[in-house]
Amino acid sequence: MTAVAVPMGAEATEPPERRGLARDGVRLMAVRPGSLTHARFSDLPGLLEPGDLVVVNTSATLPARLTARRADGTDVPVHVSTTLDDGTWVVEVRRPGDDGPETGLEPGAALALPGGVRLVLRTGFPDPTRPGRLWRAAADPAVAVPAYLARHGEPVRYRHLRGPLALDDVQNVYATEPGSAENASAGRPFTDRLLVRLLARGVPVVPLVLHAGVSSPELHEPPAPERYRVPEVTARLVTATRAAGRRVVAVGTTVTRALETVTGEDGVTRPGAGWTDLVLGPDRPARAVTGLVTGLHEPEASHLLLLEAVAGRDLVERAYAAAAGTYLWHEFGDSMLFLP
Amino acid sequence: MTSTAVITGASRGLGLALATELSQRGWRLVVDARDAGRLDSAVAGLPRPDLVTAVAGDVADPAHRAALAAAAGDSLDLLVNNASALGPTPLPPLADLPPAALEDLLRTNTVAPLALVQAVLPALRRAGGTVVSLSSDAAVEPYPGWGGYGASKAALDLLTAVLAVEDPALRVVAVDPGDMATDMHAAADPGADPADLAAPGDVARALLRLLDGDLPGARVRVGDLEVAR
C-alpha cells in the first residue's frame, strides 16, 4: 500500500498571531466517518465527548539551529537533532543555501561552532555505515547542550517561513522539558483557556515527553530514533479510557509514536522510557490512539502512513481533498482532528 | 445535476429539519451553526452526510460568510437565511432593551442575511436560485417584549421585498413559519407546551412544497399553507 497523493495548498509563512489570529483561532477540520465539519481550533472541546482523553507532548523546543563555519570558510546552518546517551550529538549540516541537508560529507569533517567549539562528524545516524542527512558528531570541548544552544542557537526554521522566529513562537503553552529540535507543532494552537475548557468539559489532558528530532522535510525520510518517556499516570489513563469505550486523542504524531511504542499487542499501554524507532503504517496500525490532532505537513509517505494507521485511508483522503486550497500548511497553519 | 442549498442555523429546529428533508432528496448542502460540536453531530445524523459541507461559525462574521460562499461553489439553487438571534431573555420591553442588544439583533437577523445574499449572488443568478429568509409574525404584530426581534425581522421582510423587485430573475421570499416546537421558541416562551406547537419537520415539508411551485408573493405565512401532520 502506498500513501495517498495529496495536493499542496497555501502555506503558513508566519505564526497565526502575526496574521491577526489567536493561537487557537486557526481552522480545525473535524473528520469522522459520517461527517466533516470546518471549525476553529477553539471549538475543540465541543467536538470531543466527556470521558475522552487528550494526550500532549510536553517536550519543549530548544533553539537547535547554529551557524557553523566549514573548513573552506563557508558559513552553513547546523541543526542539532538530539544528543545521545554517550554525549555525542546527532546533527544535520545544511547546504549553504539552506535548501536541504548537505549529503556529500565525509567522516572526520570538522565544523567551527560559535564559542570556540569544534564539531567533528564521526559516522552516519542511525546507520553508522550509511551516512545520509544525519551525522553522529563529537563536540570539543564537551558542552552542556541545552545551555549552549540557549546561548548560541536560534529555532530551526525552513524556507517556507518569512523570517526568523522567537523561541516563544515555537513553544507550546504546556511545554516543560527542553529537548526537541523542532516543535511538536500539533499542540501549538492550545491556549491556557482552551485547556481549562477541556477540563471543564470532562476531557482530561495528560502528558508524555517525546523529544522530536529534525524533520528534514526536503528528503521525505521516516523519522530517526527519538527519546521518549510515558509516565505511569498517562499509561494508566490511556488504558482505562480505552476500556471505557472512550477516545484517546493524541495531539500530534510525536504523541502517537510514543503511545504506540508502549502499547502491546494486548492493547494495554504501559509506562516506559527510552528510544523509539517505531514507524506506524499498514503493517503496524495504531493500538492505543483512536483520535488525532494534527497539522497539515509535507505530503511525505511516513507522515501520511501514520495518519492512515490511526484514521484509515478513506478519512485521510477525504480530509486532504477538503483541505486543498483553503487550509494553511506547515507548523503555523491549520489543523485537522481525525475521529475515526 | 445535483442541486445545492446553503442553510444557516442548521444544527437545530427548522434549519435542521430543512437540511434533513433536502439531504433526503439528495441535495448537496452547505450548513452552519455557531456550536461546532452540535453542528458536527447534526450533520452525522443527516441522510447523506457525504454531500454536506459543515462550516461552524457566526453569520454575523464576514469571514465566516465568505467561507460559506466559497463552500457553496459556482451554482446555488437555494439559500435559506434561517440562523437568527432572539436577543436577551426573558424578552424585555423596549424601555429596557439595551441598544447594544438591538444592534446585535440587527447584525445577525437583518444585516447578515443581506450580506450572505450578496456573497452568493453570482452563484444564485447562475442557477436561477431561490432565497428564503425566515421571518416571524412578530415582524408585523406589536407583541410586548418582541420589539427588538420583530424590528429586525420587519427590516428583513422589507429587504426581501425590495430584492424581489430589484432582481426578478431570482425567487426571493420571506417566510413566517408560525409557532414551532424549537429551542428558540422555548427560550422566548418557556411556558408553552411543545405539543401545542407545529413540529419543525412538518413546517419544513410544507415550506419545500411551497418552493416546488410558484411563489404567491414575497412574504408567505406557513399558517396559510396546508401543513400536513
Spatial separation of the C-alpha atoms in residues A93 and A74, rounded to whole Å: 12
What secondary structure letter does DSSP report for B116?
Answer: H
Phi, psi of A96 (to 5 degrees): -55, -35
Burial environment of residue B72 by CB neighbours within 10 A (0 to 12, 13 to 18, 19 or more): buried
A188-202, A253-267, A289-303, B132-146, range with the lowest pLDDT: A289-303
Answer whether residue A3 shows pLDDT above 80: no
pLDDT of residue B229: 44
**Residue whose C-alpha cell reads 450580506 in the numeric block:** B115
Spatial separation of the C-alpha atoms in residues B88 and A274, rounded to whole Å: 57
Spatial separation of the C-alpha atoms in residues A211 and A216, rounded to whole Å: 15
Interface size, chain A vs chain B, as Cβ–Cβ contacts under 8 Å = 58
Contact B44 A38 (CB under 8 A): no
Q: Which of residues 304-323 of A touch B (CB under 8 A)?
A: 322
The answer to whether B180 contacts chain A (CB < 8 Å) is: no
C-alpha cell at A237: 489513563
Phi, psi of A175 (to 5 degrees): -65, 130
Q: Which of B34, B40, B43, B50 to mutate to test the interface with A (most CBs of A within 10 A)?
A: B40
Cβ contacts of residue A254 below 8 Å, gap of 6+? A57, A59, A184, A186, A210, A212, A226
Answer whether residue A6 shows pLDDT above 80: no
Count other Cβ atoms within 10 Å, centred on residue B149. Answer: 24
pLDDT of residue A174: 98
pLDDT in tens, B118-149: 999 999 999 999 999 999 999 999 999 999 99
CB–CB of A232/A271 below 8 Å?
yes
The answer to whether A34 contacts chain B (CB < 8 Å) is: yes
Core vs surface per residue A130-158: b (16+ CB within 10 A) or e: ebbbbbbbebeeebebbebbeebbbbbbb
The answer to whether B70 contacts chain A (CB < 8 Å) is: yes
The answer to whether B52 contacts chain A (CB < 8 Å) is: yes
Spatial separation of the C-alpha atoms in residues B181 and A206, rounded to whole Å: 42
pLDDT in tens, A93-106: 999 989 889 988 99
Q: Does residue A126 have a cis bond before it (omega within 30 degrees)?
A: yes
Kindly state the percentage of chain A with pLDDT values over 70: 96
Answer whether residue B30 shows pLDDT above 60: yes
Contact B56 A39 (CB under 8 A): yes
Q: What is the pTM of this model?
A: 0.89
The answer to whether A170 contacts chain B (CB < 8 Å) is: no
A26-35, A165-174, B174-183, B209-218, range with the lowest pLDDT: B209-218
Contact A45 B54 (CB under 8 A): no
Write down the mean pLDDT value for chain A.
93
pLDDT of residue B28: 97
Spatial separation of the C-alpha atoms in residues B227 and B229, rounded to whole Å: 6
